[in-house]
Structure 1
Amino acid sequence: MKVAFATLGCRVNTYESEAMAEKFIREGYEMVDFSEKADVYVINTCTVTNMGDKKSRQIIGRARRLNPESIIAVVGCYSQIAPKEVSNIEGVDVVLGNRNKGEVVYWVNRSIDEKKQIVKVGEILKNKVFEELSIENFQDKTRAFLKIQDGCNRFCSYCLIPYARGGVCSKPKAKILEEVRKLSNHGFKEVILSGIHIASYGLDLEEKITLVDILEELEKVDGIERIRIGSIDPTFFTEDTADRLAALKKLCPHFHLSLQSGSTETLKRMNRRYTAEEYKEIVGLLREKIKDVSITTDVIVGFPGETSEEFNETYEFLKELALTKVHIFKFSPRTGTKAEKMANQIDGKTKDERSKLLQELNDKNERSYGESFVGRTFPVLIEQKASLEENLYSGYTPNYLNIVVKYNGDKDIIGNIVNVKIQSFNGEVGLGLIIP
């Protein structure tokens, strides 16, 4: 039996897809590419935007065309939010919610044996238990993602994630350490901790523990040389937190701090829990405490009610802070959210214009940040071949600069950390020279 996966959305979904794939392999299934004919197709969906739902439906249709006789299992956020809608899509055999992914093989096999559709989607807001999904053998042998937290309690006005993922649930410390040690034994050098709202880690546990405590424990694991954390709420950072993080030798100095807007009034309508000034202070704190820190972010343009003055506040805010990289999203009303029904929706042309202005500013800031490191030497974790013809390899510095190097040696350097002197930086990619 052959199984193929399609994954939409965030890093947590990527982790969960790999964990589910491993369960199929253990049951004797053969993994194939989604473009091939398979007996089972698993679509791990995203529902952050209406477009995510649309893409999920398109992929379901693609699977049905690849093999009309296949079993199609649809799991994840779209299934959780709209199980009836998903179950009514032609060809869908199994529908599972976000806290049922660990049972995917069982329900797929049941559907095959009983030749009937199976829908298992629980009431996620009442589920407070972290679903144990773990990975023994990652396909990517350089960096490993580790999900340590699920759910969110914040309820931003534009977001359905709390309804798709439920409340905060955390993986116990002992389980995290056990999994990281396994990853180290498998030869991984870098671990990326991920979650839906990772700053909330530990809020639900009886043991009094925070994300910083976990990072300090992981610092002691032999073999792991780098630790990264995924997107994190800016309110996580205090002076004490920054001091403790600065003392960690393995923590990479790269933080993705969600901003969404540089206007405090817009942030209020978004139901974000900080002001623009507070965000600015946190950026200053991290730059003061952590050497070479890279700070990236997300920004939404055209949020309902965003006036020209509010957008200009965001533009000038980002111009002043000069963050490493800004991911820019044009607001898209998500059915079922408060923002969908807000007055003063912004037209598409205005969103395009504002997005273009921020993108131009981002390109300038990103290039400037990269160029500031030309002439310096950094450890680079080599991840892949960038060019077969020229023996070019690419990887990342601790502060997440993408660097390309030339290597003509006999040994395989993929998965190894090498010292690289950065020679130039062009846009999003730098060129470097390996220093023996």
Structure 2
Amino acid sequence: MNNRERVAFHTLGCKVNQEETASLMEMFRKRGFQLVDFKSPADVYIINTCTVTHTADQKSRQMIRRAISRQPDALVAVVGCYSQVSPDDVLAIPGVDLVVGTRGRAKLVDLVEDILEKKRAGEFGKEVNAVDSLESDLEFEQLPLPDNPQRTRAFLKIEDGCDQYCAYCIIPDARGPVRSLSPDLVKEQLGELICAGYREVVLTGVHTSAYGKDLSVGINLAALLRDLVKMPGDFRIRLSSVEPVDVSEELLEVMASSSRICRHLHLPLQSGDDEILEMMQRPYTTADYSELFLKAIKMIPDLAVTTDVMVGFPGETDRHFENTYDFIASLPFRDLHVFKYSPRPGTSAAEMSGQVKPRNKDERSRRLRELADTKARAFAEGALGETLDVLVERSYKKRPGYWQGITDNYLRVIFPSQEKELRGELLPVRMIRLAEEDLIEGETSRGDGSCGRS
């Protein structure tokens, strides 16, 4: 077979999906496929789907049909969470050739090549359902590290699956139970990323903070971090989202003890009302959350705490929402990610009474987003005058001669420099003034001497 077939990818959903797509792309590249844009003609289209909400299902079906209509004779393969939960719905779409879930993706290239061969020979008949049962293999499925020299930071997936059945979430059914990459393999992959020149590595997973629960006693996220920061090289580590119930004092102590661990915690809140938290089946109260928050910022000075908040959960009244608003207003968050509840068939919340009207969701979302802007600006103002290491990500197109990057505590910074290439470097930058919204303008000693001019 001529292995210069063109393959195009489209990803829906979370950062874990995005990084898994990058790994799949690497698998196809190594086998000789030509990677092309999803909007371009291709011989193979692969859609990595999401099923976190009913809307996500609709978007997944929309992108599948778009690929089929774009190139009717192409091979269309559908992978990911929606495929895992609803393979029959995917297979019912005329034009789908292959369905793979959230397991067995390491065999995707083999399956695609086999179907391409049969199509050429006129021997391909019925579409292939290669979705494996979540109980068929309880090992962590290791995919190759993506090779993307255009990226300034790397994502290292250390965990998959979730055992926390929140009332609104279908992900445990899509991903299965917690599975962790062994500490030795985490260190091996981190070493490869450091050698490849990445200065920041984000440890990620579906339930990252549950790392190690399926492994030997004594293996947890804190213990892993304690080993990783001892590795040679010039790098820093950032944690992706961690659940409040998993953030132990040991984890905070490890973060506080090493400058290699970014001062940033993403702690999903979801609601600031205890009645709603209980209905959501979230395993903490607002008092628990507040205690953790205040302990964390005391132990780790200038820690950035970001969070997820859901509005419009079934049964959420104006009183519940005001409690949420006041609770968030009382704590110095760096930023909020605000989501409107969307029913997901198969979850207990979808069957609950008291579904909230769309206009109420919109208004509550608007108010929280305005509060988020206020919080972000206040956090940025608190950093003025400090000198912080900035990972340079790209040139800042709005201002020629400026570069843009991010600090370890999640501040977005721009600074002037006439150097032709700074992307991927870690530079000390003094925070000077707010440029716009929560974007900070700074100055660095690197450059042509023009930094920091008024």
The TM-score normalised by the length of structure 2 is 0.93
1-side partners of 2:30 and 2:218: how far apart? 36
Tell me the CA shift for residue 101 of structure 1. Answer: 1.6
Tell me the CA shift for residue 155 of structure 1. Answer: 0.5
1:196 paired residue among 206, 227, 231: 206
Map of 2:449 onto structure 1: none
Note the alpha carbon deviations across 1:139-193, whole angstroms, 9 max, x for none: 5431000000000001000000000000000001111111111111111111000
Map of 1:423 onto structure 2: 432
Contact 1:134 1:179 survives alignment (8 Å): no
1:249 paired residue among 254, 259, 276: 259
Map of 2:157 onto structure 1: 147
SS in 2 for 1:373: coil
Contact 1:230 1:256 survives alignment (8 Å): yes
2-side partners of 1:343 and 1:125: how far apart? 33
Contact 2:433 2:440 survives alignment (8 Å): yes
Note the alpha carbon deviations across 1:294-323, whole angstroms, 9 max, x for none: 000000111111122211110100010131
Tell me the CA shift for residue 109 of structure 1. Answer: 1.0
1-side partners of 2:386 and 2:47: how far apart? 44
Map of 1:17 onto structure 2: 21
1:157 aligns with 2:167: yes
Contact 1:73 1:92 survives alignment (8 Å): yes
2-side partners of 1:324 and 1:160: how far apart? 28
Question: Which segment drifts farther, 274-283 or 95-104?
Answer: 95-104
Map of 1:280 onto structure 2: 290
Gaps of 5+ in 2: 119-123, 447-454
Contact 1:384 1:393 survives alignment (8 Å): yes
1:226 aligns with 2:236: yes
Note the alpha carbon deviations across 1:332-368, whole angstroms, 9 max, x for none: 1111110000111111111111111111111111111
SS in 1 for 2:82: helix
Tell me the CA shift for residue 388 of structure 1. Answer: 8.0
2-side partners of 1:244 and 1:254: how far apart? 13
Contact 2:225 2:254 survives alignment (8 Å): no
2:423 paired residue among 398, 411, 414: 414
Tell me the CA shift for residue 136 of structure 1. Answer: 5.0
Note the alpha carbon deviations across 1:199-236, whole angstroms, 9 max, x for none: 11111113530011111111012224210010110112
Note the alpha carbon deviations across 1:377-435, whole angstroms, 9 max, x for none: 1110101122187122211001011111222124x211111111122222132222223
2:365 paired residue among 355, 359, 384: 355
2-side partners of 1:221 and 1:201: how far apart? 19
Tell me the CA shift for residue 138 of structure 1. Answer: 2.5
Q: Output the amino acid matched with 1:264.
A: D
Distance 1:388 1:271, change over 3 A: closer
Tell me the CA shift for residue 132 of structure 1. Answer: 1.0
Contact 1:193 1:228 survives alignment (8 Å): yes
Map of 1:4 onto structure 2: 8
1:101 paired residue among 97, 105, 115: 105
1:87 aligns with 2:96: no
Tell me the CA shift for residue 103 of structure 1. Answer: 1.3
2:48 paired residue among 30, 44, 47: 44
2-side partners of 1:46 and 1:344: how far apart? 26
1:179 paired residue among 165, 189, 193: 189
Contact 2:264 2:409 survives alignment (8 Å): yes
Note the alpha carbon deviations across 1:70-118, whole angstroms, 9 max, x for none: 1111100000010010011122111001012221111111221222421
Map of 1:405 onto structure 2: 415
1-side partners of 2:368 and 2:146: how far apart? 41
2-side partners of 1:359 and 1:124: how far apart? 37
1-side partners of 2:248 and 2:158: how far apart? 21
1:77 aligns with 2:81: yes
Q: Output the amino acid matched with 1:414.
A: R
2-side partners of 1:270 and 1:139: how far apart? 41
1:341 aligns with 2:341: no
Q: Output the amino acid matched with 2:164.
A: R
Gaps of 5+ in 1: none
Question: Which segment drifts farther, 110-119 or 149-158?
Answer: 110-119
1:264 aligns with 2:274: yes
Contact 2:27 2:144 survives alignment (8 Å): no
2-side partners of 1:407 and 1:9: how far apart? 36
Map of 1:319 onto structure 2: 329
1-side partners of 2:398 and 2:108: how far apart? 38
